[in-house]
């Protein structure tokens, strides 16, 4: 059974990003995938302090900060696919996701000590779910490029983005088209997983 971890980074439980993510997660589960979810706004995720203590042991994932990041490490290490689900705020992800990504780039990549070491999550697959108010090529392009570079740096396999555009607060976000796109996105990701969902 394939293991998928979803990181939800919207402050609105019933917001657009979560609505789109719900469809994807439901589809994963209907195909027999084991899905673990984290709601980052409900967690204590402190900013990276660049102390580099995590670089001392190349065999384990560690951090001196005692916060909720430690709850996620086991799921990340056991996952085949990681899903980042965030609305676009100022052309990038929301603050708790940025804090998480900053911490993980140190905790998982042994690049920053006296000698360059391995990536502890090399080869894992990662995909992005996002929503924005502009056309995706103008609203989510910088976020996607940042995540692409993050994946390349970390030796992860970037598997693509699902982006839903919100046309305004007086309009309904979810529709049949977005629902179909979310299902197709989930199905496409399942096809990339080595053993298949």
CATH number, position 42:
3.40.50.360
3-state secondary structure of 10: coil
| Domain-located, residue 53 | yes
3-state secondary structure of 143: helix
- 93 contacts: CB under 8 Å, gap ≥ 6: 9, 84, 86, 101, 130, 143
pLDDT higher than 50, residue 196: no
Q: What is the pLDDT of residue 1?
A: 67
Band of pLDDT at residue 169, cut at 50, 70 and 90: confident
| Domain-located, residue 57 | yes
Band of pLDDT at residue 194, cut at 50, 70 and 90: low
CA dist., res. 150 & res. 145, Å (int): 9
Q: Which domain holds residue 59?
A: 3-192
| Domain-located, residue 197 | no
Q: What is the mean pLDDT of residues 126-141?
A: 96
pTM of the model: 0.95
Q: What is the mean pLDDT of residues 105-127?
A: 96
Band of pLDDT at residue 193, cut at 50, 70 and 90: confident
pLDDT higher than 90, residue 168: no
Number of domains in the chain: 1
What tokens does 43 get? 């967690």
């Amino acid at each position: 059974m394939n293991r998928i971890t979803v990181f939800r980074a919207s402050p609105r439980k019933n917001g657009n990003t979560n609505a789109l993510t719900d469809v994807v997660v439901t589809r994963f589960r209907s195909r027999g995938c084991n899905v673990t979810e984290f709601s980052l706004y409900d967690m204590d995720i402190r900013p990276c302090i660049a102390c580099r203590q995590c670089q001392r042991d190349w065999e384990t994932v560690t951090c001196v900060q005692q916060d909720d990041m430690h709850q996620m490490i086991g799921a990340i290490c056991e996952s085949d696919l990681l899903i980042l689900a965030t609305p676009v705020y100022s052309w990038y992800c929301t603050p708790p996701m940025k804090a998480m990504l900053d911490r993980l780039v140190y905790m998982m990549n042994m690049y920053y000590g006296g000698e360059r070491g391995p990536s502890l999550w090399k080869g894992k697959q990662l995909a992005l779910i996002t929503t924005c108010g502009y056309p995706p090529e103008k609203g989510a392009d910088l976020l996607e490029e940042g995540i692409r570079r993050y994946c390349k740096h970390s030796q992860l396999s970037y598997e693509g983005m699902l982006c839903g555009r919100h046309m305004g607060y007086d309009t309904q976000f979810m529709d049949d088209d977005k629902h179909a796109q979310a299902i197709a996105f989930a199905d496409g990701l399942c096809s990339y997983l080595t053993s298949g969902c």
